Structure 1
Amino acid sequence: MKKIVFLLIILTFIISCKTESKPEVEENSQIVKIEETPVVALAEFDTKASEYVNKEVEVKGIVDHVCKHGGKKILLVTDGGDVHINSDERFDEALMGSEIAVKGIVVEERIDESYCLKMDEDNIKSHSEGVSNKEQFEAKKKHVQQYRDQMKANNVDHISLYSLKYVSHIEAK
């Protein structure tokens, strides 16, 4: 009977000491936990992005567009959503149509009334200087009004638009 009790105590001790932990790396006699980059589905990106502002995430999708005006922006898409990715360096146009996994820092752009006023001011200036034609002027004016209408309809003082600041990418598996 003593042997059984002794074995149960040892078994309980072993089970209670067993914990799952993240991988660790010993660095200069200090233990550093390695954090994994969270993966966010593009279908959930707009709703979850606020949790990751200024943090790195990974998204997967198909490169739908590489900006032709500088090549520093891509649009990554899936059937459920999309995200714009901005880089300091040009993206290779050969990425078009490729399925990739991108790591990037979540960036929030806030559209509020002061932002709308600035857009109105820039639009008027651009039009008065002949940089934009009447059609472009009206389209921009309509776009700004859509922001105002959206804020009013949702009873909020700003709209958050999220994108990613490019860190790296690999071909998706």
Structure 2
Amino acid sequence: MRKTALFSLMILVMISCGKKQAKVTEIDINKFEEQAATLVDQQVSMTGMVVHICKHGGKKMFLVGENPDNKIVVFAGEQISEFPVELEGKKVKVFGIIKEEIITEDTIRQWEAEDAANDTANKSIEVNAGNAQPVDAKAVKEGKVENVAVKDTAKSECIDESAEHKEGKCEDDRYAAIRQKIAESKDGKYRRYWIEVTKFEEVKE
């Protein structure tokens, strides 16, 4: 009888452990960079004031803490269709996973090559008024499509999320800030962190 009871207790403990949720670490938005570097691919939560939501799909949201110039970007995960623009000016708490991107000079050169290809395609197109259909710039470049408008890409909106981001517009030299950070790094790499948001909630004060 005692063995049966002990066995049942062990089963319950195992089931309980299996259901235990992964640890969620609370991040201080004012110390985001230093804390995020140690929490890559881990679940976190963070609270901040929403200062901007990108209009291109509503997938990017910018939060600030005590320093309004230090904007932290978070991205909507698969579970979230978009961030509602009504959140601008409000405090929110986001939950998600820390992601890391490593950028080198080669990365920037690749971006610039893509930008140049898109610019060339755009300039070579004569749009027939009222008949333009958006298409992929690559199709235009390869000669598969002519006399059409090129579809805007998400990449054209804002590459350097840490740079000035006023009214949803990027600075003219979008890569200058990143190049500076690469030059200042010890290994020629700039590491950028963000939160891939799985859920969020407005913080009522």
Could you tell me the TM-score, scaled by structure 1's length?
0.70
4+ runs of 1 displaced by more than 6 Å? none
SS of equivalent residue, structure 1 residue 161: strand
Higher helix share: 1
Aligned AA for 2:201? I
The CA distance in 2 between the partners of 1:166 and 1:160, in whole Å, is 19
Aligned AA for 2:73? H
Aligned AA for 2:58? G
Q: Is the 8 A contact 1:62 1:77 kept in 2?
A: yes
Compared CA separation, residues 43 and 98, structure 1 to 2 (3 A): same
The CA distance in 2 between the partners of 1:78 and 1:56, in whole Å, is 20
- Name the counterpart of 1:102: 94
Aligned Cα root-mean-square deviation (Å): 2.5
Consecutive unaligned residues of structure 1, counting only runs of 5 or more, are 1-25
Higher strand share: 1
Highest CA radius of gyration, 1 or 2?
A: 1
Aligned AA for 2:190? I
The CA distance in 1 between the partners of 2:40 and 2:21, in whole Å, is 20
Aligned AA for 1:152? A
Consecutive unaligned residues of structure 2, counting only runs of 5 or more, are 1-9, 124-155, 157-170
Query: RCO greater where, 1 or 2, for CA within 8 Å and sep 6 or more?
Result: 2
Compared CA separation, residues 144 and 35, structure 1 to 2 (3 A): closer
Q: Is the 8 A contact 1:104 1:166 kept in 2?
A: yes
Could you tell me the TM-score, scaled by structure 2's length?
0.60
How far does the alpha carbon of each residue in 1:63-95 deviate from its partner, in whole angstroms, 9 at most, with x for none? 111211111211111123432111141112221
SS of equivalent residue, structure 1 residue 54: coil
Q: Is the 8 A contact 2:22 2:43 kept in 1?
A: no
